[in-house]
Amino acid sequence: MKNPGRAPVLFLHGGAGNWDGRRAAGAEAGCREAGMEAWRGLDAGGPALESVCHAVRLLENDPRFNAGRGSVPNRDGDVCMDASVMVSGNCEAGAVAEIRHFPNPVLLARAVMEHSPHVLLFGAGAECFADEHGFDRCDPDDLRGEDEAPDHETVGAVALDMNGRLAAATSTGGRRGSLPGRVGDSPIPGAGVWADRHVAISCTGIGEAILRVALARHVSVLVARGVAVREAAEEAMRELERETGSEAGLIAVTASGAIARVHNAAGMATCVVLDGETHTACLADS
Ligand code: ASP
């Protein structure tokens, strides 16, 4: 049911990194298209979880982004994707890592959360779970992105729905040339994804750095203590930069509808949908 007292918010990102002008425009367009489509359900009173999964599925299907179709290969030339979802309430979470044969890892992550007692399934076990739950396999060659595509286009979404529920989702093809078996931050609650009753967060950037400082959890702890989300995100990013010297970015939305977009990379493709209006950014300051 629609609760007109609470304005929903949908916020998407298409990755932080060294976007150039032409690709930045394409990434902004991709985020806008996905945002407009996934907004409809939220505007009709649908749950935040549905909306973030819809948005991330569309971004996974868009070969302009390093997630799902368009993923970068690892050192051995293989595509290995990771994804996660998390919802407010009891901090429920689901995630998959090292997915090679399914085009929409975010849907597998959601299935892990909803239909298994576990949080994170990896590799062959995760793919077996996907088979058992009726997901269709695809040819891994259909997932591999263009050879020259950079590896910074992890995708993610956060949302607040009309009933005050928060959700976050993150999906990635990882980092080009990584060692086989490498898992980044994207499928790890507290690192590349977070949602509790205060705030939902999706991160992007150098996964090793994000893991080392538990970037998303750092933001959430500050927000729970009453720090404004923008300040909390800036403080957590300062720590990441100080401790690791690396690049990252994040988007966040709180239970009161406040949003934050913070990164220390050259750009981060984003689109926020408020009242049905889309507002995109990529090379602009956060
Ligand atoms: N965080 C992702 C990873 O390290 C990559 C990215 O966001 O660019 O796997």
Tens of pLDDT, residues 193-217: 999 999 999 999 999 999 999 999 9
Backbone angles phi, psi at 51, to 5 degrees: -65, -45
Considering the domain boundaries, does residue 4 fall inside one? no
Q: What type of residue is 61?
A: N
**Domain-located, residue 268:** yes
The answer to whether 83 and 105 have CB atoms below 8 angstroms apart is yes
Ligand 1 centroid from CA 111, angstroms? 22
Residues 6+ apart with CB under 8 A from 42: 8, 10, 48, 50, 51, 159, 161, 162, 273
Evaluate whether residue 115 is within a structural domain. Answer: yes
DSSP count for the chain of H helices, then E strands: 7, 12
Residue 91: give the domain boundaries. Answer: 9-283
* Dihedral sign of CA atoms 147, 18, 238, 90 in order: negative
pLDDT in tens, the chain (286 residues): 344 557 999 999 999 988 887 788 899 999 999 999 999 999 999 999 999 999 999 999 999 999 999 999 999 999 999 999 999 989 999 999 999 999 999 999 999 999 999 999 999 999 999 999 999 999 998 898 876 555 667 999 999 999 999 999 999 999 999 999 999 999 999 999 999 999 999 999 999 999 999 999 999 999 999 999 999 999 999 999 999 999 999 999 999 999 999 999 999 999 999 998 999 998 865 4
In a domain, 1, yes or no: no
DSSP symbol at 144: B
Q: Is 178 in the pocket of ligand 1 (CB under 6 A)?
A: no
Residue 218 lies in a domain: yes
Kind and range of the H or E element at 268?
strand 267-274
For residue 2, is it within any domain? no
Does 25 reside within a domain? Answer: yes
- For the beta sheet containing 81-87, the strands, ordered from the edge strand earlier in sequence to the opposite edge, are 120-122, 92-99, 81-87, 166-172, 155-160, 9-17, 267-274, 277-281
Structural contact between residues 191 and 210, judged by C-beta atoms closer than 8 angstroms: yes
Instruction: Quickly list H helices, the chain.
Output: 21-43, 48-61, 105-115, 123-132, 207-213, 215-224, 229-244
Residue 82 Cα: closest atom of ligand 1: 9
Please confirm, yes or no, whether 154 is among the known catalytic residues.
yes
Ligand 1 atom showing the smallest separation from residue 153 Cα: 8
How close is the Cα of 162 to the center of ligand 1, in Å? 30
185 C-beta closer than 6 A to ligand 1: yes
Kindly report the CATH number assigned to the domain that includes residue 167: 3.60.20.30
Determine how many CB atoms are found less than 10 A away from the CB of residue 110. Answer: 26
Cβ-proximal residues to 127 (8 Å cutoff; 6+ apart), any chain: 99, 100, 101, 102, 137
Ligand 1 atom with the smallest distance to the CA of 152 is 8
Is the CB of 74 inside a 6 Å radius of any atom of ligand 1?
no
Ligand 1 contacts CB of residue 154 (under 6 A): yes
Indicate whether residue 51 lines ligand 1 (CB < 6 A).
no
Domain count, the chain: 1
In a domain, 3, yes or no: no
